[in-house]
């Protein structure tokens, strides 16, 4: 393989078929396989280092405790965590992340480390009376964070989830984001508690809202997917994270809108949310990529562990599992034409894995880290 001075792949193939320009550094790897750099479709890298910090059994209690833990951290803590998280991803062979968070630390860390990713800045506001305040804060913060964007670093917005965002705020964020050309990410159809809140106006999230004096919609029997679609959230620029509690009609709706899915099987299992219908998601032609979620949920940023679980859930073969961590994930986060495959003209994002089995694809799935990770022609990790 040859990567040019601009960091793009210039040639791929057998050694004899790839040019060797004079003065270009050359490396050879025995018993190894070169892969497209992996793409992690959902992370919370500002939370790196907090594995085990939240142990509440119920999901609403877990969310509440996590917000408390985050409130005790400084921006410097978040920035240091984000940088470590990026390096941990590189060590795992991941060259691109799709991150959500509300500190702004990850986009700054990506810019400083010359990484690649899209950072969705979170916005919250379950009370309809908070819309103006939430939108003012979002517009101000996005304007501050734009200085970190580049060809490799993109900015988006994330109206967090149906249990933290009012219908009025969803409408306002979706409208404004599209006016600004910002992609959307939303935690959606994740838990039974979320479905109970949206569909029935019941359950622990509804009780939590009522205790805080937040109006609870009567519950019109809609699924979370149908609810946010009615509010104008779903579209070709929307990444739907989790999608565990998704019906066939929900998936048809996503396919019609052109929305994508970030699938986080280990996190879904850790929170006892259930199993996302990955096979049906793929059958509907929806772009889907694997994500590790936060280390608070799972304790690791091991994307290959996610691929192994996804493989068993949807009865995939090894190559299909790797697609969920490469080209399929790249499409899901809007980068499908530039990364995710080793083809001339694409960005030179490459991961090198040891071959420890007769089948090199199986070796990659079983890998615990990369030998070498390259982002746009630059080595960012070497073991």
d(Cα 20, Cα 292) in Å, to the nearest integer? Answer: 38
User: Which ranges of the chain would DSSP assign to H, the alpha helix?
Assistant: 59-71, 75-91, 105-113, 131-145, 167-180, 192-200, 204-211, 224-230, 248-257, 265-270, 278-283, 303-314, 318-323, 327-332, 360-366
d(Cα 233, Cα 175) in Å, to the nearest integer? Answer: 8
CA dist 31 → 149, 238, 358, 359, 364 (Å): 38, 40, 10, 12, 12
- Exposure string of 187-207, with b = 16+ CB inside 10 Å and e = fewer, is bbbbbebbbbbbbbbebbbbe
Encoding tokens for residue 76?
């410097």
d(Cα 357, Cα 344) in Å, to the nearest integer? Answer: 28
Angle at 374 (CA atoms; ends 370, 376), nearest 5 degrees: 155
Indicate which residues carry an active-site annotation. 190
CA 252, chain centre distance (Å): 22
Strand-strand pairing, 94-101 and 38-43: parallel
Burial class of residue 252 (count of CB atoms within 10 Å of its CB; 0-12, 13-18, 19+)? middle
Encoding tokens for residue 360?
């090199």
């Amino acid at each position: 393989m040859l990567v040019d001075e601009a960091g793009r792949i210039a040639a791929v193939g057998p050694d004899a078929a790839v040019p060797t320009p004079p003065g270009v550094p050359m490396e050879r790897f025995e018993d190894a396989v070169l892969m497209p750099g992996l793409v992690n479709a959902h992370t919370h890298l500002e939370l790196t280092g907090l594995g085990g910090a939240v142990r509440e059994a119920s999901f609403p209690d877990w969310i509440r405790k996590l917000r408390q833990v985050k409130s005790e951290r400084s921006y410097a803590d978040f920035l240091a965590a984000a940088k470590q998280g990026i390096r941990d991803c590189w060590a795992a062979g991941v060259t691109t992340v799709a991150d959500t968070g509300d500190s702004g630390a990850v986009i700054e860390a990506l810019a400083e480390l010359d990484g690649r990713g899209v950072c969705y800045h979170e916005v919250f506001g379950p009370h309809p009376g908070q819309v103006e305040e939430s939108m003012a804060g979002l517009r101000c913060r996005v304007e501050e964070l734009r200085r970190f964007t580049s060809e490799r670093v993109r900015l988006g917005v994330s109206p967090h989830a149906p249990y933290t965002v009012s219908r009025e705020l969803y409408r306002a964020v979706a409208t404004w984001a599209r006016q600004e050309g910002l992609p959307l990410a939303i935690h959606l159809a994740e838990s039974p508690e979320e479905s109970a809140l949206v569909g029935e106006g019941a359950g622990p999230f509804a009780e939590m809202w009522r205790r805080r004096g937040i109006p609870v919609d009567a519950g019109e029997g809609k699924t979370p997917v149908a609810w946010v679609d009615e509010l104008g959230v779903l579209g070709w620029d929307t990444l739907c994270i989790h999608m565990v509690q998704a019906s066939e009609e929900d998936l048809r709706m996503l396919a019609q809108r052109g929305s994508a899915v970030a699938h986080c099987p280990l996190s879904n299992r850790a929170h006892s949310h259930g199993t996302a219908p990955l096979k049906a998601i793929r059958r509907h032609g929806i772009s889907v990529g694997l994500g590790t979620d936060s280390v608070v949920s799972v304790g690791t940023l091991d994307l290959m562990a996610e691929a192994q679980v996804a493989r068993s859930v949807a009865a995939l073969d090894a190559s299909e599992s790797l697609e969920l961590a490469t080209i399929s994930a790249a499409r899901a986060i809007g980068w499908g034409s530039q990364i995710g495959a080793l083809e001339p003209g694409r960005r030179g994002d490459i991961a090198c894995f040891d071959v420890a089995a007769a089948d090199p694809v199986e070796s990659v799935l079983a890998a615990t880290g990369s030998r070498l990770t390259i982002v746009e022609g630059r080595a960012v990790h070497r073991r």
